[in-house]
Amino acid sequence: MDVNVVDKWGDLILEVGASLRDDLSSEGDGEQLSEVRSEQQSDSDSDSEQSLARSLRQDRTPSPDSSVAITDIPLRILVSSKVLTMGSLVFKEMLHGSFAEAQLHFNQVDPPTLSLPEDNPRATLLFCEIVHCSPSVHHFKGYKTLHELGIFADKYDCTRSLRSWFRGQLFRFVGAGHDYFDIDALLNEGMSAQQMLKLCFLMNDTEMFALASKTVYTHISPSEIRPRLEAVYEDEVPGRLIDLLCSFGRHSIHDFAGIGPALIAHVSRQRKWYGYFTPIPCETTQEEDELDHSQVTGLCYGNTVRIGVLGATLASLSLLPSHDPEVDSKRSPVAMLRKLQRLGEVDFGDRKMCCPKTARCNCGHDLDIKFELDKKIKAAKQKARGICLGCVKDDTEPISDFLHGHNSRCERHVSWGERSLNHDMILRR
């Protein structure tokens, strides 16, 4: 049987996937049939449903390099036992602990064989190539291969040794602000934000998980988070993860919904907006026309009109706060952001909204509504933070105790994250 040489000076042969021969051999035909049925179904769907179906079908699409594992089962891989023990704590215990495998006599002339009958051949080969620094592993592998590798890494406790390579695979999807994943870039590769979230969860990567979690709860409404994750997870979705995503999403929606009233309060020059508008000044005598109406009424004609336009626009775009949980559950922060940007396109300096010349009011010249809107949008965007992976996996604290300021570097797990980083630095040396 042919041997895949990962290390030509290797002293151990891994024989992988013997018990999976029938399943992996028939995998290709089943995937092709599922692909055809999915394409037929997508012809009758809307454009948005086609995009979702395309992202979900990626989970069933074989990777370009999957032919090796399908045609050669079991797969035999020549590796270095020393490199394996450096990359995986489980392999270290297996080969140098009290297990029967520790009795193998590792040598380069006649390498012994270690059987891993139930492991995925593709994922095992990819892991070996990564820890042996093979030059052929740098191109993007696709969701299916990364998902298989994540399951393997979780089983053999080797996520730390794969972290740098894993981040290199995902960094191409990081947005311009380096605080979220670009949805369009993900869709171009047939992936979705929820698939990215699962990958980061499996690989135990705190930084990438923070980006993925923020991307999910800002782009998906709270009512859609559970069904979207259930479509990606083959087993049960962690309930704590869903609760945290929905909680952070509702907080972000609340922040964006508060921009409209805050903007009206700014225009009205009041500390707090109570919904009361000063009436438009009526016709006055010549003597009264010489007065500054903004000083008489506290709210000039121009700003009164602008408040009316702001209120009507905010109501038509569904941007005002709502006390109905069902309404907020159907909103998403990104959709609200787009609507607020549309609000910024309104010309509040139009002369129809300015005070009469006789009022001698400079509200039309000293206008900063657009500036205030941009400032409040920026502040709301900065408040959205990634979720701490440690808090997702550590259920000792109730979710209700989390503050919105909690983020991927929360005090409870900052030392946990530093330990992971220090371990990565040691492995690189």
DSSP 369-402: HHHHHHHHHHHHHHH--PPPHHHHH-TTS-GGG-
Kindly state whether residue 242 falls inside one of the protein's structural domains: no
Q: Which carries the bigger pLDDT value, residue 381 or residue 358?
A: 381
Among 124, 145, 165, which residue terminates a domain? 124
CA dihedral sign, ordered 216, 219, 224, 227: negative
Kindly state whether residue 365 falls inside one of the protein's structural domains: yes
Among 87, 129, 147, 116, which residue's Cα sits nearest to residue 426?
87
Q: Which carries the bigger pLDDT value, residue 152 or residue 351?
A: 152
pLDDT at 37: 39
Question: Once rounded to an integer, what is the mean pLDDT over residues 142-150?
Answer: 94
Q: Kindly state the percentage of the chain with pLDDT values over 90.
A: 42
Task: Please tell me the pTM assigned to this model.
Answer: 0.75
Kindly state whether residue 388 falls inside one of the protein's structural domains: no
CA 101 to chain centre: 40
Whole-Å CA distances, 236 to 230, 232, 240:
7, 10, 11
Q: Cis ω on the peptide bond leading into residue 74 (within 30° of 0)?
A: yes
Domains contained in the chain, number: 2
Kindly state whether residue 278 falls inside one of the protein's structural domains: yes
Q: How far apart are CA 126 and CA 137, in angstroms?
A: 7
Whole-Å CA distances, 205 to 137, 160, 229, 388:
19, 8, 18, 10
pLDDT at 414: 52
Whole-Å CA distances, 302 to 271, 357, 369:
19, 11, 13
Reported confidence tier of residue 51, pLDDT bands at 50, 70, 90 = very low
Question: Once rounded to an integer, what is the mean pLDDT over residues 291-320?
Answer: 74
Kindly state whether residue 328 falls inside one of the protein's structural domains: yes
Tokens of 75: 């797969």
Residues 90-118 have pLDDT tens digits of 999 988 877 777 778 888 888 999 999 88
Domain that holds residue 344: 255-383
Q: How far apart are CA 207 and CA 98, in angstroms?
A: 35
What element of type H or E holds 269?
none
CB burial string 360-382: b at 16+ within 10 A, e below: ebebbeebebeeebeebbeebbe
Reported confidence tier of residue 203, pLDDT bands at 50, 70, 90 = very high
Helix (H, G, I), strand (E, B) or coil at 121: helix
Reported confidence tier of residue 187, pLDDT bands at 50, 70, 90 = very high
Among 92, 124, 156, which residue terminates a domain? 124
Instruction: Tell me the β-bridge partners of 12.
Output: 79
Kindly state whether residue 426 falls inside one of the protein's structural domains: no
Residue 292 has pLDDT above 60, yes or no: no
Picking from 166-170, 252-256, 278-282, 312-316, which range would have the lowest pLDDT averaged per residue?
A: 278-282
Residue 182 has pLDDT above 80, yes or no: yes
pLDDT at 426: 39
User: How are strands ordered across the β-sheet holding 4-5?
Assistant: 4-5, 75-79, 12-16, 113-116
pLDDT at 201: 93
pLDDT at 42: 40
Q: Calculate ∠ Cα 262-264-270, nearest 5°.
A: 85
Question: Once rounded to an integer, what is the mean pLDDT over residues 218-224?
Answer: 95
Residue 128 has pLDDT above 90, yes or no: yes
Reported confidence tier of residue 46, pLDDT bands at 50, 70, 90 = very low
Tokens of 164: 């740098």
pLDDT at 254: 93
Whole-Å CA distances, 343 to 11, 194, 317, 319:
67, 30, 9, 10
The pLDDT mean for the chain works out to 77
pLDDT at 291: 45
Kindly state whether residue 38 falls inside one of the protein's structural domains: yes
Kindly state whether residue 149 falls inside one of the protein's structural domains: no
Euclidean distance between the first and the last CA atom of the chain, given in angstroms as a whole number: 36
Among 74, 104, 124, which residue terminates a domain? 124
Question: Once rounded to an integer, what is the mean pLDDT over residues 142-154?
Answer: 94
Residue 59 has pLDDT above 90, yes or no: no
